[in-house]
Structures are given as structure tokens and as C-alpha cells.
Amino acid sequence: MNKFVAESFYTCLFKISHKLNEISNETLKELDKRDDGKFEIIDVKFNKRKTKSIGEIKSNPTKDIESPKLPRKLPNTLTEQQINDLLDAPDEKTNLGFRDKTMIEALYSCGMRVSELLNLKLSDINFNQGVIRILGKGSKERIVPIGEELISLLKNYIELIRPELLKNVMEDHLFLNSRGAGITRQGFWLRIKDYCMKANIDSSKISPHTLRHAFATHLLNNGADLRVVQLLLGHASLNTTQIYTEVANERLKSIHKTHHPRG
């Protein structure tokens, strides 16, 4: 590459870098989906670029430049104390309150998606083996162990609460609404937001996946192997689970900064 080509090349890169800074993350994501993995804006800049001094540039000098990687947004999660406060929010003396506490415990204890929780059937619970069968994305089945606390709640719910909610209706879903039918995702999530307010948790930072995020993060915080967490969550790729190690690391940094005299 001669002097004039080099000057043209770097001048153009300088202009592009300023343009890229003005592009939103949404646009960057869309550009990054191009077949060749390069930004089309760069290809246009260099595609047979002509100048009076050097003539035509036939090859694209940016073809080996990788697209910039967008920063991964860490998922919102809850502390163990916030989980305890959330579990204490429902009124266990009412049928719906006891049901909701059981559902929150199931989400947190098993790392289920909300859709997986709402689709659970009575036959998916195996008390003898202490496991629950979960049907995940793409109809992929996984078996997740259930702890003593959840077993106790589930037994009481199935024996005492569910028959009163059922009202002589034939329904296979494990968790029922006040009319004896399955619960909608929207209806359940509105109740979760109400419990967040009671527990003084900022509901604007809560999503249907927050308890699942907390499940994975707390397991890693307490020494669980990443591949075990992958299996429990039902992730096809370990890369998907890897994000939770970053959440755990950020939490450790925060604890160190808060509690260590030289943090």
C-alpha cells in the first residue's frame, strides 16, 4: 500500500469511527447480522473507492477487520435476603397466598422459566425421588431436584389448597387460579410485582426471568460447577450460562468494595 492509499485509508477509517459512535446499539446489532459479518457501511466506503490522486481501489482493505463486539448486558438478579423477603410477602393463610408462595419457591428453587412453571402438570412431580420434570424450550425435557422446603410446600398445596381451587373441574395444570383453571403469565406476573412492592423491592428492575437469574447466580456464588448450572437451567450451550459467572464476579467485587477496609 503506497503513501496515498494509506492516507486515504486512515482518513476514511477516522470518518467511519465518528459515524459509528453516532449509530445506536439497535442499528449496530442489525448491521452485525449481515452475511459476511462486516459492517456494510465500511464496505460501501471502500467499494471501488475512487480518488483523483490514486485512481481506483479494487480490494477492500477492511475485509479482515472484525465487527466491534457489543457489551453484554448483565441480567438483573436479587440478593438472597431479597428472595427471603419476597417469599415472606404472600399471605400464607389464604389459598391464593399459599399458592403464590409455593410458585415463587418453585421458580427460585428450580430455576424454571415462568412459562415452564405455569405449564407444570401434577404428573411432573415425583415426591419419592425428590425431582420435578420440566418441559423446556423446543419440548426439551430436564429433571431438576427439589429441596425439602419446596417438597413441603408442594405437598400442602396439592393436598389442601389445590382441591379448593379446583372446584370439581377437570384440570391437569398443577397451579390453578381462583376459577380452577390454569394461570396466565400476565396474571401471575402482576401478583409478583405486588409482592415486590410489599417486600420493598424495586419492581421496575424485576422481569419474569429475575428469579431464574437469582437461582443461577446464587448457585455459582456458593461454589456450584458451571456445567451443573447449565444442566439445571436447560441451556444447550455453556456460553449462555457463562453470563452468570460475570454476575457473580460483579457481586463479589461489590461485597469486597463495601466490606474490605481497602476495598
Residues with catalytic roles: 113, 137, 209, 212, 235, 244
What crossing angle do the helices spanning 226-233 and 238-259 adopt, rounded to 10°? Answer: 120
Nearest to 136 by CA among 238, 242, 235, 237: 235
Output the 3-class SS for 210-258: HHHHHHHHHHHHCCCCHHHHHHHHCCCCHHHHHHHHHHHHHHHHHHHHH
Alpha helix (H) ranges present in the chain? 3-21, 25-31, 40-46, 80-88, 95-110, 114-118, 148-156, 162-166, 185-198, 210-221, 226-233, 238-259
